[in-house]
Chain A
Amino acid sequence: MGLIFAQLLTGLANAAALFLVASGLSLIFGVTRIVNFSHGSFYMLGAFIGYSLMQVLPGAIGFWSSVLLAGVAVGIIGVIVEILVLRPVYKAPELFQLVATFGVILVIQDLALLIWGAEDVLGPRAPGLKGIVRIMGEPVPKFDLALIAITPFVLFALWYLLTKTRVGILVRAATQDREMVGALGVNQAWLFTGVFFLGAALAGLGGAIQLPKGGADLLMDFTILASIFVVVVIGGMGSLPGAYIAAVLISVLNVFGVSYLPQSTLVLMFVVMAVVLTIRPYGLLGREEKAGEHGQVGEPELPIKPASLTIRLLVLALIALLACLPFVAPSFFTILATDVIVFCLFAASLHFILGLGGLVSFGHAAFFGTGAYVAALLVTYVGTPMELAFLLAPVGAFLLAIIIGWLCLRLSGVYFAMLTLALAQLVWSLVFQWDDFTGGDDGLVDIWPSAWLRDTTSYFYFTMVIGIGGILFLRHLAHSPFGYALRASRDSARQAEATGIHTKRIQWVSFAIAGALAGVAGALFVFSKGSVFPVELEIAKSFDGLIVVFLGGVKTLSGGVVGAAALTLVQDYITRFEYWRLALGLLIILVVIIAPNGIVGSLRKLAHWLPFGRSKST
C-alpha cells in the first residue's frame, strides 16, 4: 500500500515538467493554430539557461529565481522567433508554419552546442529540498513534493489569467474565432506574440524546474517532443485542465508500467493516446473542431491542369538526361540520384493525401518503413527472391494503410494528424521491441538485390523506372475522376456528399494508395541500402516527408517531388560542413519566409507576374 502511494507521488511529480511544457504547446496551438515543433527546443533552452543561472545565483532564492528567470528568458526567445520567423508566414497554407519551426529546431541545436558545449550537465539540487521524507515507510524526495505542490498552483494561475482577466478573455476569444477577434479591432499580431511569450516561457520553466531531477543535454529537445504532443492531444488541443489531467495520467501510468510491465516503456503512452482518441476523438476535454473554422487560408487554389506540350517535352528531355547520368558522372552520383528518386516517390505519395486529399498525416513513414520491412523480413526468413519481395512490400504497406486509415479517418484536421502519429509510433515500437523477429534497432541487414540488379547502375535504372512510374501514376490519378472526387472531399465535404461522392471512402482509398506507394519507395530503399532499421519508421522520417511537401508547395501538383529533390541535394551538400544544422535551419527559415507558397507555388506566382510566364503553369 505504502509503495503504491509512493509510486503515485512519483507519477505526480513527473507530471509537473510535462504539464508545464505541454500547456505551453497547447496554448500556442489553441490561439495561433501553429503546431510548434520547436517547443522541445524551448524546453531544452530553459534547462540550459536555468543551469547557467544557478551557477551564478546562490541559495534557495537563487535557485527559484533562476527557474523563473529561465522562463522569462525563454519567453523572450519565443517572442523573437515569433516576430522574425512566424509572423511573415501566418498567411501561408495551414500547417506551413511547422516547417519554419523545424528550421528553428536545427538552429537552436547548433547554437546550444556552441554555447554550452557537448557534455551533458547534471542539474544542481534544489537547496533545502535535497533529502527525503518517509511517507508510510517509503522514501519520497522532498523536491518531488514541491513539484506536486507547484503544478496545481501554476494551473490555477493560468486558469485565473485566462478566465478572469481581459487578456485571458481575448485569448479565449481568439481560440474560438480569431477572425472575429481581429474584426472587433483587437491587434491579433500582438495577441499572438503575447501567447507565444507565455507558451515559450512555460516550456522554459518546465526545462528549468526539472533540473534537480535530471539535467540538460543536447538531445532533450527531441526526447520530450513526442510526449508533449501526446499529452496535448489526450487532454484536448487548447485545453489546459485537459493537459494537466493527461500529464498526470501518462506519468502515473508510466510509473506503474515501469514496475509491473518493464518492457512497456516505449509504447505505453501511444497506446493510451490511441485508446483515448478512439473513445473521445477530440481528447478528454477538447472541443470538436468546427468545419471551416480554420480551413483554407490564403487565396483559393488554382485548378490543376495537364501539362502543356512544351513542359512534357522538357520533362522527357530531362528524363533522358537523367538516364545518361551513369555514363557521364562518377558512380556516386548514380547512388545519390537513386536516393533522390526514392525520397521523391515517398514525398509524392504523402503529397497525394496531403495536398490533394487535405489529409495531414504525421505518420507516413510507417508505410515507407513497412514496405522496407516486409521486403527485408521476407528475404531474411523465407529467402524470398528480390522480385517477389518487391511485389509484396507495397501489399503489406497497403494493408497497414487500410487499417490505420480506417481508424484515423473518423477524425479530421489536427486530431487526424495526431492519431496517425500515434499509430505510426505503435508500429515503430512493435518493430523496435520485437527484436527476435525484426532485429530491433540492430535492424535487418544483408538485404541486397538479385544478381541482375546488383550493380549500382542497373539498380539506378530500376529505381528510375519504378520511381518515375509511381510518380506519374499518382499524377495520372490526380487528373482522373477519382482525383476530382478527392479534391472535392477536401474542399467541401458536404457539397461533395450532396453530389453523391462517398467522401470517407474516397479518402480511405487514397490513403491506402498513398501507403502502398510509400511502401514501394521503402522497398526501393531497402534494396539500395542493403539494410533497414527502425529509424525508417520514426517520427523524424515522417516529418522529413512533411517538410519537403510544404517546402515544395502543398498546393501544387509537383510540390512534393520538387521539395524532396531540393532538400536531398541541399542536405547532401550542406552536411559536409561543421555547423550544417545551423546553415540548413537558416536556409529552411529563409525559404519559408521568401516562398510562403512553397518553392513551386512561389515560382508559379513569380511566373504569373512576368509576361512570358502567364501561359504556363506548373
Chain B
Amino acid sequence: MKLDRRTFFASLALVGSLALPAFATAADTIKIGEINHYKRMAAFAEPYKKGIELALDEVNGAGGVLGKPLEFIFRDDQGKPGEAVKIAEELMTREGTVMITGTILSNIGLAISSLAAEKKFLYLASEPLADSIVWEKGNKYTFRLRASTHMQASMLAEAASKTDAKTFATIAPNYAYGKDAVAAFKKALTALKPDAEFVTEQWPALFKIDAGAEVQAIERAKPDAIYNVTFGGDLAKFVREGTTRGLFDGRDVYGLLTGEPEYIDPLKDEAPEGWTVTGYPWYDFEEGDNKTFVDAYMARYDERPGIGSLVGYMTVQSIAAGITAAGSTDTDALIAGFEGLDVDTPVGKIHFREIDHQATMGAFVGTTALKDGAGIMVDWSYKDGADYLPSDEEVAKLRPAE
C-alpha cells in the first residue's frame, strides 16, 4: 500500500511524542543548542567542543547564569543545511533551548541565520567565517563571534602591502569561502597598494586539489608573491608539491588560517617556513589571560588547544555575558543584551557591535617557522578585529534595511 506504512511510522512517532514532553520542560538549566559538523570535520569540531566544556565548567562553577547552570545540547548537522534547520527547530521547540550557536560550515550558518529571523530566536554564529552572515544576509537575530574572512584577509593584505611584491597569485578552494577570501584580499590590497597586479587565480576543487598541476600553473605566471587560502589535506599537498618543485623559493607567501594548529600541525616538519599567516600561537604565551586559558585547557585535556578550542571557550563566555546582560532568556531581551556587549576573553576584551552584530575578536598574525619538527608562528602579534572592519557607512550599505 502506498500510504499505510508511512502513516504508520508517522503515527509511531506521534505515539512516541506523547511519552516524551515530560522530559522537555523538567530541567532547571538554561539550555543552549549547539549544532556542528562533529563527524565529518571532527579535527576541528572536537577541540571546539572541549573548549565549550571547559568554559561551561568554569561558568557553572561560579554559580551559572541568572542563578541557573548553563547547559549545552550538542547535535551533529551531517553537513546538510536542511538537516541543521530541522535540528534547530527541534532544539528550539522541543528541547527548550533559549538560543542556537555553532556551525563551522558557512552555508549551514546562513541557513540557520535565516531560520532564526523567521522563527524569531537568537543565533550566535560562533565559527562560520562568511562575511554575508553579518552583512548581505545579516539580520536582527544573528550575531557572529569569530573574525570574518574579510577581517583576516585584510590583516594579511596589510602585511602584503608593506613589501615590494607587485605581482600576486592566488590559490583558493573553489567554493564560497575561497572566493570571499580572495575577493576580500584583492580589495584590501588594491586599496593599500594600487599598483598590485593579480597575475593568476587558481581554484582547485575543495579537498580534491591536483597540487602538481596547481604548482605548475602558478609557476607559469611567475608571481612575486602568493596568497594561499587552501587548508586541510589540500594545504598539505600544495605545500609538499610546492616545496619539492621550488615554488616558494624567493617568494612571499601569505596564508589565510595556515598558522592555526588544526591546519599546520599535520604538516609536521614539512610546515612551510617564512609564510605570513593568521593562526593561533598557543605555545608562545608567557603570561596573561591567553596563558591562563592554555594552561587550564592543557591541564584538563592533556593536549594542545586549537583555534577551535579558543572559539568554543569564547562562545560560552559570550553567551554567559549576553544572558547576564539581558537579565532574562527572552529573545528580545537577549538581542538587547548582545548588542553592544563587552566580553572579557583570553584574547582581551571583545565587543559585539550594534551596527552589524559582528564581534571584534581579532586574529594572530605571524610568520611561520620550524621548531622541533613542527610548524609554529614567530614574530606574531594579535590584531584587534575592530581595526579591520569597514566604516559604519559602508556596513550600513552592505546590510539590508530592517
User: Which residues of A approach B to under 8 Å, CB–CB?
Assistant: 3, 6-7, 10-11, 13-14, 109, 113, 118-122, 125, 130-132, 138-139, 141, 144, 213-215, 217-220, 223, 227, 251, 254-255, 258-259, 262-263, 265-266, 307, 311, 314-315, 318-319, 321-322, 324-325, 328-333, 335-337, 339-341, 344, 348, 432-433, 435, 440-443, 445-446, 448, 456, 468, 471-472, 475, 525, 529-531, 533, 535-536, 557-558, 561-562, 564-566, 569, 572, 575-576, 580-581, 599-600, 618
- Measured CB to CB, the closest approach of chain A to B181, in angstroms, equals 13
Give the nearest-CB partner of A323 in chain B.
B7
Complex CA–CA separation, A318 to B179 (angstroms): 50
Contact status B113-A445, CB under 8 Å: yes
User: Which are the 4 A-B pairs with shortest beta-carbon distances?
Assistant: A318-B7, A118-B42, A255-B213, A10-B212
> Which residues of B in the span 19-48 have a Cβ within 8 Å of any Cβ on A?
20-21, 24, 39-40, 42-43, 46
Question: Assuming the A-B contacts A435-B176, A441-B176, are A217 and B111 also in contact, with contact meaning beta carbons closer than 8 angstroms in the complex?
Answer: no
B12 at interface, CB cutoff 8 A: yes
Please give, as numbers and ranges, the residues of chain B lying within 8 Å of A569 by CB-CB distance.
9-10, 12-13
Q: Kindly identify which residue among B81, B179, B200, B232 contacts A533, using a CB–CB cutoff of 8 Å.
A: B81
Q: List 21 A-B contacts (CB under 8 A).
A: A119-B265, A122-B236, A214-B236, A215-B233, A217-B233, A223-B207, A265-B203, A321-B7, A321-B14, A322-B7, A322-B10, A324-B14, A329-B17, A440-B179, A443-B107, A445-B111, A471-B2, A531-B81, A566-B5, A569-B10, A618-B1
Question: In the bound complex, what is the Cα–Cα distance between A435 and B203 (angstroms)?
Answer: 14
Q: Answer yes or no: B82 CB below 8 A from chain A CBs.
A: yes
Known: A530-B118, A536-B82, A569-B13. A561 touches B6 (CB 8 A): yes
Are B240 and A531 in contact, with the CB atoms below 8 A?
no
> Which residues from chain A contact B43 at a C-beta distance below 8 Å?
118-120
B373 beta carbon closer than 8 Å to chain A:
no
Q: Are B241 and A141 in touch, CB under 8 angstroms?
A: yes
- The reply to whether A254 and B107 form a contact with Cβ atoms under 8 Å apart is no
User: Is A266 in contact with B174, judged by CB distance below 8 angstroms?
Assistant: yes
Check B220 for interface membership: any CB of A closer than 8 A: yes
Interfacial chain A residues near B179, Cβ < 8 Å: 435, 440
Q: How far is the CA of A287 from the CA of B194 in the complex (A)?
A: 59
User: What B residues does A475 contact at CB under 8 A?
Assistant: 2
Could you tell me the distance between the alpha carbons of A335 and B107 in the complex, rounded to whole angstroms?
A: 21
* Beyond A265-B174, A266-B205, 9 extra complex contacts between A and B, CB < 8 Å: A122-B240, A213-B211, A213-B240, A263-B174, A263-B203, A322-B10, A529-B115, A531-B85, A566-B5
Report whether A254 and B213 are in contact in the complex, using a CB–CB cutoff of 8 Å.
Answer: yes
CB distance from B170 to the nearest CB of A (A): 10
In contact, B267 and A122 (Cβ under 8 angstroms)? yes
Q: Which of A262, A340, A576 is in CB contact (< 8 Å) with B75?
A: A576
Q: What CA separation (Å) do A254 and B204 show in the bound complex?
A: 10
A445 and B10 contacting across the interface, CB-CB below 8 Å: no
- How far does the alpha carbon of A119 sit from the alpha carbon of B364 in the complex, in Å? 22
Complex Cα gap A204–B17 (Å): 46
Q: Chain B nearest CB: distance from A610 CB in Å?
A: 17
**Complex interface: stretch among B58-66, B88-96, B335-343:** B88-96
CB distance A3 to B203 under 8 Å?
no
Report A275 CB to chain B, min CB distance, Å.
19
B81 touches A332 (CB 8 A): no
User: Which B residues are closer than 8 A to A by beta carbons?
Assistant: 1-14, 17-18, 20-21, 24, 39-40, 42-43, 46, 75-76, 78-82, 85-86, 89-90, 93-94, 106-107, 110-111, 113-115, 117-118, 130, 132, 137, 174-176, 179, 200-205, 207-208, 210-214, 216-217, 220, 232-233, 236-237, 240-241, 244-246, 262, 265-268, 270
Nearest Cβ on chain A to B74's Cβ, whole angstroms: 10
With A122-B266, A440-B175 already in contact, the answer to whether A311 and B1 are too (CB < 8 A) is yes
Partner of A561, one of B2, B85, B241: B2
Smallest CB–CB gap between B273 and chain A, Å?
16
User: Which has the most chain B C-beta neighbours within 10 Å: A311, A319, A336, A448?
Assistant: A336
A255-B212, A441-B175 given as contacts; is B93 within 8 A of A530 (CB)?
no
On whether the beta carbons of A558 and B10 are closer than 8 Å, the reply is no
CB-CB under 8 A for A318 and B11, given A7-B216, A262-B201, A442-B106: yes
Q: How far is the CA of A599 from the CA of B8 in the complex (A)?
A: 14
Is there contact, CB below 8 Å, between B211 and A318?
no
Given contacts A255-B210, A340-B6, A581-B39, contact A132 B245 (CB under 8 A): yes
Which chain B residue has the least Cβ–Cβ distance from A216?
Answer: B233
A218 to B41, CA, bound (A): 8
Is the CB–CB distance between B210 and A600 below 8 Å? no
Q: In the complex, A138→B216 CA distance in Å?
A: 9
Known interface pairs A214-B233, A258-B202. Does A319 touch B7 (Cβ–Cβ under 8 Å)? yes
Q: Which of A6, A113, A218, A324 contacts B216 (CB 8 A)?
A: A6
A262–B217 touching, CB < 8 Å: yes
Report the Cα distance A10→B3, complex, angstroms: 55
In the complex, which residues of chain B have a beta carbon less than 8 angstroms from the beta carbon of A10? 210, 212-213, 216
Shortest Cβ distance from residue B72 to the other chain A in the assembled complex, whole angstroms: 14
CB of B250, distance to nearest CB on chain A (Å): 14
Distance in Å: Cβ of A175 to nearest Cβ of chain B? 31
The smallest C-beta distance from A450 to any residue of chain B, in angstroms, reads 13
A369 to chain B, nearest CB (A): 11
Q: Which of B12, B93, B217, B245 contacts A141 (CB 8 A)?
A: B245
Instruction: Give B5's nearest chain A residue, CB to CB.
Output: A562
Which of B6, B46, B118, B208 contacts A118 (CB under 8 A)? B46
B183 to chain A, nearest CB (A): 11
Known contacts A315-B2, A318-B3; is A535 also within 8 Å of B80 by CB? yes
Given contacts A132-B244, A445-B110, A533-B111, contact A318 B8 (CB under 8 A): yes
Q: CA separation between A251 and B17, bound complex, in Å?
A: 53
Q: How far is the CA of A330 from the CA of B132 in the complex (A)?
A: 33
Whether A122 contacts B5 by the Cβ 8 Å rule is no
Asked if residues B90 and A14 are in contact (CB atoms below 8 Å), the reply is no
Q: Are B232 and A336 in contact (CB under 8 A)?
A: no
Could you say which of A220, A251, A340 contacts B233, with CB atoms under 8 Å apart?
A220
Chain B residue numbers with a CB within 8 Å of A11 are 213
| Residue of chain A at shortest CB distance from B130 | A442
Knowing A219-B40, A441-B176, say if A262 contacts B82 (CB, 8 Å): no
A314 proximity list for chain B (CB < 8 A): 1, 4
From B80, B117, B207, B232, give the contact of A446 (CB < 8 A). B117
- Whole-angstrom distance from the CB of A283 to the nearest CB of chain B? 22
Which chain A residues lie closer than 8 Å to B208 at the CB level?
Answer: 223, 227, 265
Q: List the A residue with the shortest CB-CB distance to B262.
A: A119
Chain B residues, Cβ within 8 Å of A329: 13-14, 17-18
Bound-state Cα–Cα, A344 to B118, Å: 26
In Å, the complex CA distance between A118 and B45 comes to 9
Nearest CB to that of A432 among chain B residues?
B175
- Residues of the B chain whose Cβ atoms lie less than 8 Å from the Cβ of A530: 85, 111, 114-115, 118
Residue of A nearest to B83 (CB): A575
Q: Known contacts A262-B203, A576-B75; decide if A217 and B232 are in contact (CB<8 Å).
A: yes
Please state if B111 and A531 are interface contacts (CB–CB under 8 Å): yes
The residues of B that contact A536 with a CB separation of less than 8 Å are: 82
Contact B241 A120 (CB under 8 A): no
> Assuming A314-B4, A336-B86, A442-B110, is B17 touching A535 (CB within 8 A)?
no
Q: A448 — which chain B residues lie within 8 A by C-beta?
A: 118
Residues of A within 8 A of B233 (CB): 120, 214-215, 217, 219-220
Tell me, in angstroms, the Cα distance from A258 to B169 when the chains sit together. Answer: 14
Residues on A with C-beta less than 8 A from B237 are: 213-215
In angstroms, Cα B113 to Cα A266, docked, is 28
Query: A259 CB to closest chain B CB, in angstroms?
Result: 4
Q: Is the CB of A565 within 8 A of B5?
A: yes
Taking CB atoms, residues of chain A closer than 8 Å to B212 are 10, 13-14, 141, 144, 213, 255
For B6, the chain A residues whose CB sits under 8 A away are 340-341, 344, 561-562, 564-565
- Of all chain B residues, the one with the shortest Cβ separation from A265 is B205
B2 touches A529 (CB 8 A): no
A50 to B56, CA, bound (A): 40
Contact A339–B86 (Cβ < 8 Å): yes
